[in-house]
Amino acid sequence: MHLHATYNYSLVFLSCLIAVSASYAALDLTGRVSAAKAFKNRIVWLLCGALLIGTGIWSMHFVGMLAVTLSEPITYHMNWIVVSYIVAIAASAIALQAVSVARLSLKRHLSGALLLGTGIAAMHYSGMAAMHVQIRYDPFWFALSVLIAMAASYVALAFAFHFRSANSWISVLYKLGGGVLMGAAIAGMHYTGMIAAHFEMNAHSEVAGVGMNQEMLAYFVAASTFVAMAIAIAVSILGHRLSSKDHALYEHNKWYISLYENHTDGIVTIDTKGVIVDVNPAFVNMTGRSAEYFLHQPLIGIIGLFVEEQRGKASLWLIYALKDAQVKRLESAINHVSGHSVNLSAMSVPVTIDDEVKGIYFIFRDITEEKKSKEQIQHLAYHDELTSLPNRRLVNLMLDKAIQRSESSADNFAVLVIDIDRFKLINDLLGHAYGDQFLLQVTDRLRQAAVGMNVTIGRMGGDEFAVICHGDPIESAAVRAAERIIEAVQIPYRLKDNDFYVSASVGIALYPEHGDSVEDLLKKADSAMYDVKRNGKNGYCFYSEQLDENLLGKLELESDLRKAIERNELMLHYQPQINAEQNRIIGVEALLRWTHPDKGLVPPGQFITVAEEAGIIGDIGAWVLREACRQMKQWQTQYGWQVPVSVNLSSQQLLDDRLVDLVAAVLRETELDPAYLELEITESIMMDASRASSILQKLMEMGIRFSLDDFGTGYSSLSYLRMFPIERLKIDRTFVQEITTNEDDRAIVETIISMAHHLKMNVIAEGVETKEQLQLLLDNGCDEIQGYYYSKPLAAEELVRYVADNLDERPMNDSLG
Ligand code: C2E
Ligand code: CA
Ligand code: CA
């Protein structure tokens, strides 16, 4: 008998509502299943989720079924109901599992949809089987229902996968939409399945079953489903909170692990028994040993890492850190496996959990670089940047210490202040880069000179150095140091392809004779050094009280000298130069004389250096040149003399470009033939050979001749001097004075004479005082003589008288040959 089915529409609506709610719950839950990292949590979530969704789907189905009223009352088989319920839960579990993976592959998606769809269909038709009625299915609608189940499952899985981890409001909306869609699909499947069914009255329909008021049952199932779902959602939200707490904790933990692993400080974790439980990569790097080398070793194993002399200190630190469980610091150094040492700043930090110490972190920071730069800064503060010598500050400190020490031990010492003569000139001429290079060379010389002596060298600034010297007796130690320094400094310096000649002026002050404080000693040494400078430089001098008086005198002299030209206090004396063989005059040297209003005659040796230092040598030199030329021109017209006048040039004049113009102007004014002017220069022109040589060249082109004064006292080689247009060498009087007594000097003079002749230069000997000296010079082929033996420098009119009285005047006229 065919049964007619009618629908209770409020129950149909209710069933749809259940489908949608269950779908939404499913979407929401999948997120939690996949978010649960711990395996145990996952299983719980999966089971809860499957139970919830399964119940939802099943209940929808059941309510949907109950919505159908057949024309005859129907009873249900309990077994099939249970089976369908289990199938619903199983299918849901499969679906949840399918989407909880990291990546949903197409294969997985399809097979998941197939399983879920089959599950839903199986659930539906097994539920239908529970009806105690004969059902015939229309194959088309049946197939369609199964297809709908699968399609719905496919879409549902896609939604679930997509929204599982999103938590924003938008995603809640999407989830709702997804839920409606999925719910509709499930409901659609159900009702399509229902269309497929044709109910027929079973002959044995009275077989025992659960007879129930159909509608009441439906409401009861729906209500309990909603309650179950509500509880599940509530638990889910709560669980979500719990799980996010869980997650935060997990994340937090990761942060700390990352801090530990990536920290640039080395970290060693030990437990309360002092066993190493962990080391981080930084510590591995720092020591060059593997983590395994440390792990599970007693802490004592670390002590071996420390540099030997620090091990005692380090073990104490470790032991106290362990015992006291307090932050304890240590600065130390360890040996890296590859041999170098690493400076460390270490700290122990107790690990306290719930007021209980569980272990200790030892944190090691590599401060090698930091330490190095600290030391560098320290070094910079107390050392000169250029030469690395102790600077003024450190010299002061060392002097202070030396004073303190001598107070207790009577260990006297000397302070030497060294100034490099002519440094300023080199610096001005060549520039600072070469000036620096020069100072470095000077520093090297000083260091070498100091070898084997008990001295400390410092640089006070510029070209000023200081030496603290110890020794007994202190005077002779200081003299020895000064002499070695002077000797070392005056060897020529090779700079910019030229040799430069400098010298050192050394002032010495003794402790405690000359002063008992640092400032006093330095001041006294300074004033002794200035005295050396004023007396022609290149030498040393001990401080004496007289020096300070002299210094005042020098300052006075300087101001007087400035006025000397105007006041007409300068005059020239002339010393004849004589050809000894022919007994005739071959020239005169002009020598400056200064008659000071109070002091009387001041020797040029004293005031020429003062004039150079004061920068007035140019004016004085110009006056000398003019006066000498004027005088010679007058002698020429008055007496018909035809000999040159020699004028001394200071090296400062030779570096002045205006010299050429000055000479030209003077010759023009005085109308002296340039052939009768000879300029005497010294080896110090080598100071800046290229500049000097171009000036000399121009003067030579004007017809002026040059002689090299004081030859033998400098350091230039003869062949080098050949580069200059020099006609005559003047053997220094210090050699001449010794030639009769000193073998060496005689040999030097002989060599100079023969070499000069070889180079086609004339030689004149100055300072000849005795007949023996004269004879020796003549024997060696030097017949040009200047010296007291013939005449002292004479005033102009005295010279005229001298020549008339003593010399053969006639050949003088052709002296220029
Ligand atoms: P110098 O150029 O070597 O001059 C020769 C010096 O030797 C002169 O000293 C002269 O008096 C001295 N003398 C000459 N014969 C003898 C002798 O037989 N025995 C001894 N013991 N001495 C002798 P003076 O006049 O005192 O000049 C000293 C220095 O002053 C000169 O040395 C020269 O370097 C410098 N000087 C003198 N006049 C001038 C000048 O006009 N300009 C420059 N720039 N320097 C000058
Ligand atoms: Ca001279
Ligand atoms: Ca001379």
> Tell me, what CATH number does 421's domain have?
3.30.70.270
Task: For ligand 1, say whether the CB of 412 is within 6 Å of any of its atoms.
Answer: no
Together in a domain, 507 and 584: no
In a domain, 17, yes or no: yes
- Residue 54 falls inside a structural domain: yes
Q: Which residues constitute the domain of residue 427?
A: 383-543
Cβ atoms 740, 760 nearer than 8 A: no
- Are residue 208 and residue 289 in the same domain, yes or no? no
Range with lowest mean pLDDT among 5-14, 92-101, 388-397, 645-654: 92-101
Compute the distance from residue 482 Cα to the ligand 3 centre, in Å: 26
The pTM for the full model equals 0.48
* Statement to judge: residues 609 and 696 lie in one domain: yes
Boundary of a domain, candidates 212, 242, 272: 242
Q: What is the pLDDT of residues 550-574, one digit of tens each?
A: 777 777 888 899 999 999 999 999 9
Do 342 and 389 lie in one domain? The reply is no
Closest atom, ligand 1, to C-alpha of 604? 30
Q: Are 663 and 793 contained in the same domain?
A: yes
CB of 624 closer than 6 angstroms to any ligand 1 atom: yes
359 with 432, same domain: the answer is no
Least confident of 139-143, 222-226, 272-276: 222-226
Q: What is the pLDDT of residues 463-478, one digit of tens each?
A: 899 999 998 899 999 9
Q: To test the ligand 1 pocket, which listed residue (588, 648, 772) has its Cβ within 8 A of the most ligand atoms?
A: 648
Average of per-residue pLDDT values in the chain: 85
Position with higher pLDDT, 329 vs 692: 329
Residue whose CA is at the smallest distance from ligand 1 atom 13: 767
Residue 552 lies in a domain: no
- CATH code for the domain in which residue 580 is found: 3.20.20.450
Q: What is the pLDDT of residue 687?
A: 63
Query: According to DSSP H, which parts of 263-343 are helical?
Result: 281-287, 291-294, 300-303, 311-324
User: How many angstroms does the Cα of residue 65 sit away from the middle of ligand 1?
Assistant: 142
- pLDDT category of residue 207 using cuts at 50, 70 and 90: very low
Residues 492 and 411 in one domain: yes
**Strand 5-7 with 413-421, pairing:** unpaired
Tell me whether residue 550 is in a domain.
no
Same domain flag for 536 and 571? no
Domain-located, residue 250: no
Ligand 1 pocket residue status of 688, Cβ below 6 Å: no
Pick the residue whose CA is nearest to atom 22 on ligand 1: 767
Nearest alpha carbon, ligand 1 atom 27: 604
User: Which atom from ligand 1 is nearest to the alpha carbon of 653?
Assistant: 44
Residues 238 and 340 in one domain: no
**Residue that is last in its domain, among 342, 372, 402:** 372
Residues 325 and 226 both lie in one domain: no
Where a domain ends, among 515, 543, 571? 543
Ligand 1: residue whose CA is nearest its atom 46: 648
Nearest C-alpha neighbor of 59 from the set 189, 232, 217:
217
Integer CA distances (angstroms), 642 to 670, 738, 758, 811, in order = 15, 33, 27, 10
Statement to judge: residues 237 and 271 lie in one domain: no
Does the beta carbon of 767 sit less than 6 angstroms from any atom of ligand 1?
yes
CB-CB neighbours of 279 under 10 Å? 26
Start-to-end CA distance of the chain, whole Å, equals 168
**What was the pLDDT predicted at 209?**
42
Can you tell me the distance from the alpha carbon of 436 to that of 523, in angstroms, rounded to the nearest whole number?
26
Q: Is residue 251 part of a domain?
A: no
Helix-helix angle 139-163:9-35, to 10 degrees: 40
Query: Considering the domain boundaries, does residue 555 fall inside one?
Result: no
Under a CB-based contact definition with an 8 Å cutoff, are residues 275 and 360 in contact?
A: no
Predicted pLDDT at 424: 77
Residue 17 pLDDT exceeds 50? yes
524 and 591 fall within a common domain: no
Flag whether 212 is in a domain.
Answer: yes
Spatial separation of the C-alpha atoms in residues 780 and 757, rounded to whole Å: 11
Tally of domains within the chain: 4
Residue-level pLDDT at 407: 80
Range 141-160 average pLDDT: 83
